[in-house]
Structure 1
Amino acid sequence: MQETVNFSSAVLWSRAEELVKEEYIALGQLMEKLGSPSPQIRWRVDADHLPCEELKFLLDWWQTTRAGRFAPAPADVDPFALRPILGRVTVLDVLDGGEDFRYRLYGSAIMNEPGKDLTGQLVSEIWTPLRAFFAITYRAMLQRREPLYTRHIPHHSLKLSTWDRLILPLGENGQVSRILVGLISTAD
């Protein structure tokens, strides 16, 4: 049974700090409260650890495009260059240093219901309780400023598959201003 979970900013930042330190127990407990099993989390991502060609392509694009910088700049994102995965990406704006995130783009192939486009919405306002998990992972990536791979299974009542996410920073001058996420749904 799904429990009510405290989504306060302080709790989300605390879970993000633990994720940065690679301490995953509290995040697993939070996911269980949300009706989902503990997620898989991986920092220091390389293509050998990614489960599908689309995410490997995205990671290769990110590594090549950053060209020695900590991350590609938002202006470096070229939809034509990302064509093989374009419908499976989201781009989020970082608001108030990570207090919230706004979907700038929500890929058409990842909409879990036809016509349910999250473009323009805040992560804090989306309908799923997993918004807490999303905010935690985005905040942790902001602090480490490096790729983060996650695999999670939504609450069983949603009847959705496992989701593999590759979370990548975009920014300039050492600051993450946007987040590029590749999302692939796989069979359980």
Structure 2
Amino acid sequence: MKDITYSTEYLWARAKELVNEDYVSLSLLMKQLGSPVPTVHWNLPEDKLPQPELQFLFKWWKDKKGERMAPSPSDVDPFELKGILGKIAVLEVIDTGEEFKYRLYGSAIMPEPGKDLTGKLLSDIWTPMRAFFAITYRAVVLRKEPLYTRHEPHHSLKMAEWDRIILPLSDGTEVERIIVALVPVKTEE
């Protein structure tokens, strides 16, 4: 499949639509990528999240957040998250969301050699799904709220579907990092 790349204007326009819960263009993008329409929910209650790992991270996030907009990036403690650390990615928000850098990429997300994205920019990753990721990450930066998605990736990943919870991290009023739990729903035979 041809890797689809889009202009920053395209990605921001789709992110703003996602913030406003307009999913038409996102559905068209996924169709272009050969994937079905993703499931997308803002602020899904903890007990409605389908995976225990997502529930765990969301509860951690709410507990750390308290009365603030979001937990601080310094609240991320590997010892507190050790039960799901391999399924977590932490991304630094660069230039208010123009780019994202993987500060941590859990070893259970993609355990194949050479697939560790730690230290890499989102724009440099190999998957055609990076446009979908950029749109969802930018939407979280804009809306500053938790986003749950279930999507079907490119067939080369041999995963039928992935569940994700994307959570903002901040020391003030702007999202500085995001923390994401990624859990495979089922693998293809």
- Please tell me whether residue 39 in structure 1 is matched to residue 38 in structure 2: yes
SS in 1 for 2:168: strand
- Please tell me whether residue 17 in structure 1 is matched to residue 16 in structure 2: yes
- Following superposition, the deviation at residue 159 of structure 1 comes to 2.1
In 2, Cα distance between equivalents of 1:162 and 1:116: 18
- 1:23-102 maps to which residues of 2 (within 5 A)? 23-102=22-101
> Which deviates the most, 78-87 or 2-11?
2-11
In 2, Cα distance between equivalents of 1:29 and 1:125: 23
- Following superposition, the deviation at residue 172 of structure 1 comes to 1.3
- 1:173-184 maps to which residues of 2 (within 5 A)? 173-184=172-183
In 1, Cα distance between equivalents of 2:2 and 2:25: 15
Percent identical across equivalent pairs? Answer: 57
Are the counterparts in 2 of residues 3 and 33 from structure 1 also a CA contact under 8 Å?
Answer: no
In 2, Cα distance between equivalents of 1:32 and 1:3: 13
Runs of 4+ in structure 1 over 4 Å off: none
Are the counterparts in 2 of residues 103 and 121 from structure 1 also a CA contact under 8 Å?
Answer: yes
- 1:101-180 maps to which residues of 2 (within 5 A)? 101-180=100-179
Are the counterparts in 2 of residues 62 and 72 from structure 1 also a CA contact under 8 Å?
Answer: yes
Question: What residue identity is the alignment partner of 1:33?
Answer: Q
- Following superposition, the deviation at residue 186 of structure 1 comes to 1.1
In 2, Cα distance between equivalents of 1:145 and 1:120: 24
Structure 2: unaligned runs, 5 residues or longer: none
- Following superposition, the deviation at residue 161 of structure 1 comes to 2.6
CA RMSD in angstroms comes to: 1.3
Q: Aligned pair in 2 of structure 1 residues 12, 98: CA closer, same or farther (>3 Å)?
A: same
SS in 1 for 2:139: helix
- Following superposition, the deviation at residue 48 of structure 1 comes to 2.0
Question: What residue identity is the alignment partner of 2:101?
Answer: R
Are the counterparts in 1 of residues 128 and 154 from structure 2 also a CA contact under 8 Å?
Answer: no
SS in 2 for 1:118: coil
Are the counterparts in 2 of residues 39 and 150 from structure 1 also a CA contact under 8 Å?
Answer: yes
Structure 1: unaligned runs, 5 residues or longer: none
In 2, Cα distance between equivalents of 1:150 and 1:3: 24
> Which deviates the most, 111-120 or 8-17?
111-120
Are the counterparts in 1 of residues 5 and 131 from structure 2 also a CA contact under 8 Å?
Answer: no
- Following superposition, the deviation at residue 62 of structure 1 comes to 0.2
Are the counterparts in 1 of residues 127 and 154 from structure 2 also a CA contact under 8 Å?
Answer: no
In 2, Cα distance between equivalents of 1:91 and 1:148: 15
In 2, Cα distance between equivalents of 1:31 and 1:112: 25
Question: What residue identity is the alignment partner of 2:31?
Answer: E
